Amino acid sequence: MATGNAIDPIHQFIVAPLAQIRIGGIDASFTNASLFMVIVLLAATFLMIIGTAQKSIVPGRLQSAAEMAYEFVASTVRGTTGTEGMKFFPLVFSLFMFVLLSNLIGLIPYTFTVTSQIVVTFALAALVILTVIIYGVINHGTHFLHLFVPSGVAPALLPFIVLIEVISFVSRPISLSVRLFANMLAGHITLKVFGAFVALLLSAGGWAAISPLPLVGIVALTAFELLVAFLQAYVFAILTCVYLNDALHPGH
């Protein structure tokens, strides 16, 4: 990871093709990113299917984990969107499990963090916003545009308010994707830099005495990154619910 005396924290984010596949003129290679997305999918499937296979009244560890995941997301969806929002539960649950497991699996050494790529997080955020727009327009027609017009506004101010509301709405997918991407990117770069510090100190003769310090830093940082992994998955899920609530009940 350290080339010569240089600290290289970016190497972990390189997307390298594992199997070259060209369809038409498009490069659809199976990359290490694809591999880890498949691993995340398998982990989520394993957790839910095998976790609920036993169906015992007093759950074992795996079943308990699966039930906790379900309960957590279900209560979040019901709390923000109400019971009629439960039709979006499969989407929100899939997003939550994908983001959570990608974040967690990325903390294992030598893995690739799927959500540290802006393209992945933007795809997820675009999926959410498109669902909101399409569902809102199909169900409420032009009444959906009342989302941009808060009640009780003087007509003179209306154009400015509408413009600001539109910008605010368009900033939602940007903030949703950039928040997750920036958190994962920053966390992993910091971990790599601290690791490089340990290696550099060890190879610098006398300085090796203080090399346990960055090591302790890495341990504390990994604990922090665990918290951030859960937190970012939770924030992504709850904001998805809030935006879907806007599609279900437009107009404040």
Does 227 participate in binding another protein (rule CB under 8 A)? yes
C-alpha 110/C-alpha 108 separation (Å) is 7
Does 80 participate in binding another protein (rule CB under 8 A)? yes
CB of 152 to another protein, least distance (A): 15
Contact stretch for another protein (CB under 8 A) within 32-40, 47-55, 115-123, 179-187 = 179-187
Does 79 participate in binding another protein (rule CB under 8 A)? yes
Quickly list DSSP for 15-37. --EEE--EETTEE--EEHHHHHH
In the bound state with another protein, the residue whose beta carbon lies nearer, of 21 and 220, is 220
**Tokens 């989407």 sit at which residue?**
91
Does 82 participate in binding another protein (rule CB under 8 A)? yes
User: Beta 17-19 vs 22-23: how paired, if at all?
Assistant: unpaired
Give how far the C-alpha of residue 92 lies from the chain's centroid of Cα atoms, to the nearest Å: 12
Count of other CB atoms within 10 angstroms of residue 42: 11
Contact 251, 146 (CB under 8 A): yes
In the bound state with another protein, the residue whose beta carbon lies nearer, of 7 and 228, is 228
Task: List binders of another protein among 184-213 (CB under 8 A).
Answer: none
Binding site for another protein (CB under 8 A): 79-82, 160, 163-165, 167-168, 170-172, 174-175, 178-179, 182-183, 227-228, 230-232, 234-235, 238-239, 241-242, 245
